[in-house]
A = this chain, B = another copy of it.
C-alpha cells in the first residue's frame, strides 16, 4: 500500500541507494538522474518513512520536554506556553520535533523520561524546572544524555548546562524598586522552596531588605491560590506595622492577591502595592495593570533549545550557561509612599 524507496527505484530503473541519495540531494548524483527519480517520486506520491530513517541514522530529530504538571495552578500559568513557544520556534527552525511528557506524578514522569532516553525516542531533553534531589536529573547525568535545564541546578552545577534568569537579582531589583518608592514593610508571597527558582527569589528579597537595613520580613511560602491569598491579606492587615507592598513571584499569585484585595474593597496601589513576575499579557490586562519583573519566558525557552541543539551538533562543546536578563516593567500596581507616611 505505502510506496517505498524500492518502488521508486524499480520504476525509475535505479538502485534503492540511488533514490536514497537523491532524497538527500547528494552532490555526486547527476542532475539527470535526480530529475528522473524525482519525477517518479512525484508520480508515486512517495514520502520517506521517517521512522526507518531514524532507526538507521540513530537520531530521532526530536527533543523531549519535561514539564511538571503537578499543581493545578500551573495549568493556567502563562510561563509554560510562553517558554514552549520559544523552544518551539527554535526547534522548528532546526527541523526538530517536540515530544512532551504527560505524566502527573514524579514517578510517572521519571518512567516517561527513561522511556524516551533509553528507547531512543529523543536526541536530547529540556527540563522545565530545577528541583532538589531530582531522580530525573540524576538519570540524565548518569546516562550522559544531552540535556539543558531551564532554571539553576541545585547540584552538579559544573556538569549541567542551564538557561536561567538571575533570580536573586530579579527579586532583589523589584524589592529595591519598592524600597525606593518609600516602602519599608514589604511582604513576600512565593512558592515552594524545594524549587530552586523560589529559593533564589526568596534570597533576593531578603538581600534587598538587608541592604536597605530593613528588619521586618514577611514571608509566605504556600502556593498562592485564591484562598491562600485571602489568608495572606488577612494576616498582613493584622500586622503592625503592616506591610504596604507585596512581592509575588508569579502572575497568577499576583492576580490572586489582587483579587483578595478587591474582595476586601482595598485599592491597589492606594492601599497596597503589588508586584508580579513573568510578564505575559496577564500583567498588562489585570486591573490595575501590574508592575512586573519581565523574565522573558519566550527567550528562556528559545535559548534552552538553541543551547541543546548546539550541544547535539557539537557534543564536545564547552559547557555554557546562559542568563537571560530581566527587567522591571512599571505599570500601575505600585505607587510612591508619601514622605510623611513612609515614616510612620
| A contacts, CB < 8 Å to B | 2, 47-52, 54-55, 60, 62, 69, 73, 75-76, 78, 80-82, 84-85, 88-89, 91-92, 97-100, 102-104, 108, 112, 114-115, 118-121, 226, 252, 255-256, 258-259, 262, 280-282, 284-289
Contact = CB atoms under 8 A, between A and B. Distances in A.
Given A100-B100, A255-B282, A262-B288, 8 more contacts: A49-B120, A50-B121, A73-B281, A80-B81, A98-B102, A256-B285, A259-B286, A287-B287
B50 A119 contact: yes
Given A121-B97, A255-B286, A51 B49 contact: no
Contact of A282 (B49, B76, B80, B262): B76
A258 B285 contact: yes
A92 B81 contact: no
Contacts of A255: 282, 285-286
Given A76-B78, A76-B280, A286-B255, A119 B85 contact: no
Secondary structure class of chain A's binding surface, majority of residues: helix
A281 B252 CA distance: 8
A47 B113 CA distance: 12
A102 B76 contact: no
A238 to B, nearest CB: 22
A254 to B, nearest CB: 9
A288 B261 CA distance: 11
A82 B48 CA distance: 34
15 contacts: A2-B120, A50-B115, A50-B121, A51-B54, A73-B281, A75-B81, A76-B280, A76-B281, A88-B100, A92-B108, A97-B100, A98-B99, A100-B100, A259-B285, A282-B282
Contacts of A51: 51, 54-55, 60, 119-121
A252 B85 contact: no
Nearest to A64: B97
B91 A102 contact: yes
The 5 closest A-B pairs by CB, nearest first: A47-B118, A50-B119, A92-B102, A88-B102, A262-B287
